[in-house]
Structures are given as structure tokens and as C-alpha cells.
């Protein structure tokens, strides 16, 4: 995994400054949460880290490398969305293996990574199932599995729990936190849900109107809201 650094990151859409001069040093293995109301610039910031949105100003580093000009596929990061589209005709195994196959990863290596991720996610017994034979939570885990097998430098997650019902959301929160520990992963996570931010984040970035207002641990935010 790797650190992710944002220096003077700015995004303008016409006259609107969606993100203004964001400076952040996201450490290796950190679970960093962007928290703020709808429209404050969280998703735009995440998309710039992913390379899905050009910067209007500033630079982004992943590890020691300036990736500001690099296309998404050369950034070595994995994005997990709320609308986890699995391939319906493929099994769980094939869904997880597909991206690696496209990258021409050797079969034995694919097999090792898929089985390891499945083990971590508790999907070991479900590898031959099709998505329609899974629960919502299991499908969510397959989507995570697809990201994990790529062994990325960082995971980017945009409201990944928002489609789940309350009970499953609580459960998945705990699972994600455990997963973070177990993988030693760098995770950048976007949410408007304060409880999600406080229970999962190692640090929280509070955004409003495109500006970072506060960066602190959950304890720090709790004591100094």
C-alpha cells in the first residue's frame, strides 16, 4: 500500500470552484474519511485521486510518484462504488478474476489471489454461485473482492454502503474496519454519514463548499466539533 498526497488540489467547473486548494497527507495504511453535506466536493476530490477528473490546479502523489497527468489505469488504485455492478452471467470466482484476466495475470497467480480474497471476505464457499444466488451483503463483498485481488496501492470508496439497509450497513461497517486492519490498506472513503465517519475513520476530513474545514481523529472531532 502507499501514501496519497494532495497539494493545492483545485477543481473548477466554469465559474464554480467545486474543490478549493485541498492539502492533505494521507499516510500509508490510513483509513481517511471525507465527511460533508451533499455538494461539498467529496466525490470530485475522490475522482481526481482516481484520475477520472482532471485537476484545475495542484498535484496528486501516490507513493512517491506524481500521478497528476496519469490515466486511471496507471495509478494502481481500486475504486469501490455504491452501485456495485457484478457480471450476472459469471460466477463469484469469475467476477473476481475477470479484471486480472484482462491484465493477463498468470492463471496460478489469479487463483491464489481470488482464493485469498474470498477467504478474507468469507466467500470461500460461494465461489461457484452466480450473483443472483447471493444476498445484497454477499454481492457487496464480491465487489470488494474484485478490488482486493488487484492488490492496489490504495482503495477509494464512494458511499459504498448507501444501498444497504440499516442492519447490513452496521454489519458491513464493522467488516470494512476489520478488513482495513487485516489488509493494512490505505483507504480513502467518502460519506455524508457522520456515524460512518466516526466509527471507521482513523482520521476525518470535514469539507464544506469545496474547502477543508477540519482534519482530525474521530476523538478530536468529537471533542472539538
Q: Does 18 bind ligand ADP (CB under 6 A)?
A: yes
Q: Does 42 bind ligand ADP (CB under 6 A)?
A: yes
Binding test (CB under 6 A) with ligand ADP, winner from 127, 156, 187, 212: 127
Whichever of 41 and 152 has its CB closer to ligand ADP, that residue is 41
Are the C-beta atoms of residues 64 and 139 closer than 8 Å to each other?
Answer: no
Dihedral angle over CA of 93, 85, 47, 65, nearest 10? 10
Q: Which residue spans within the chain are E strands per DSSP?
A: 4-13, 16-26, 31-35, 57-62, 65-66, 77-80, 154-158, 187-191, 203-208, 211-216
Q: DSSP letters of 28-61?
A: TT-EEEEE--TTSSHHHHHHHHHTSS--SEEEEE
Options 24-32, 36-44, 75-83, 198-206: segment touching ligand ADP (CB under 6 A): 36-44
Least distance to ligand ADP, CB of residue 181, Å: 26
Q: Does 145 bind ligand ADP (CB under 6 A)?
A: no
Q: Does 22 bind ligand ADP (CB under 6 A)?
A: no
Q: Does 17 bind ligand ADP (CB under 6 A)?
A: no
Give CA–CA dist 46/69, Å, rounded: 15
Binding test (CB under 6 A) with ligand ADP, winner from 3, 10, 68, 91: 91
Q: Does 153 bind ligand ADP (CB under 6 A)?
A: no
Give CA–CA dist 139/162, Å, rounded: 14
Give CA–CA dist 99/110, Å, rounded: 10
Q: Does 111 bind ligand ADP (CB under 6 A)?
A: yes
Q: Does 41 bind ligand ADP (CB under 6 A)?
A: yes
Binding positions for ligand ADP, rule: CB under 6 A: 13, 16, 18, 36, 38-44, 91, 93, 111, 127-128
Amino acid at each position: 500500500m502507499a501514501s496519497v498526497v494532495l497539494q493545492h488540489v483545485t477543481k473548477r467547473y466554469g465559474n464554480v470552484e467545486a474543490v478549493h486548494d485541498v492539502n492533505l497527507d494521507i499516510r500509508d495504511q490510513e483509513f481517511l474519511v471525507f465527511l460533508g453535506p451533499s455538494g461539498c466536493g467529496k466525490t470530485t476530490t475522490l475522482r481526481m485521486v482516481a484520475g477520472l477528473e482532471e485537476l484545475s490546479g495542484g498535484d496528486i502523489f501516490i507513493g512517491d510518484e506524481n500521478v497528476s497527468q496519469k490515466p486511471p489505469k496507471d495509478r494502481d488504485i481500486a475504486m469501490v462504488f455504491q452501485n456495485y455492478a457484478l457480471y450476472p452471467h459469471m460466477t463469484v470466482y469469475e467476477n473476481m478474476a475477470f479484471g486480472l484476466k484482462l491484465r493477463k495475470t498468470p492463471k496460478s497467480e489469479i487463483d491464489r489471489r481470488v482464493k485469498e480474497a474470498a477467504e478474507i471476505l468469507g466467500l470461500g464457499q460461494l465461489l461457484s454461485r452466480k450473483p443472483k444466488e447471493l444476498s445484497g451483503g454477499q454481492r457487496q463483498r464480491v465487489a470488494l473482492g474484485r478490488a482486493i485481488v488487484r492488490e492496489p496501492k490504495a482503495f477509494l470508496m464512494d458511499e459504498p454502503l448507501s444501498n444497504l439497509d440499516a442492519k447490513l450497513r452496521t454489519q458491513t461497517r464493522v467488516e470494512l474496519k476489520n478488513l482495513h486492519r487485516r489488509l493494512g490498506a490505505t483507504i480513502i472513503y467518502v460519506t455524508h454519514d457522520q456515524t460512518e465517519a466516526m466509527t471507521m475513520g482513523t482520521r476525518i476530513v470535514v469539507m464544506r463548499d469545496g474547502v477543508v474545514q477540519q482534519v482530525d481523529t474521530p476523538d478530536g472531532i468529537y471533542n472539538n466539533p
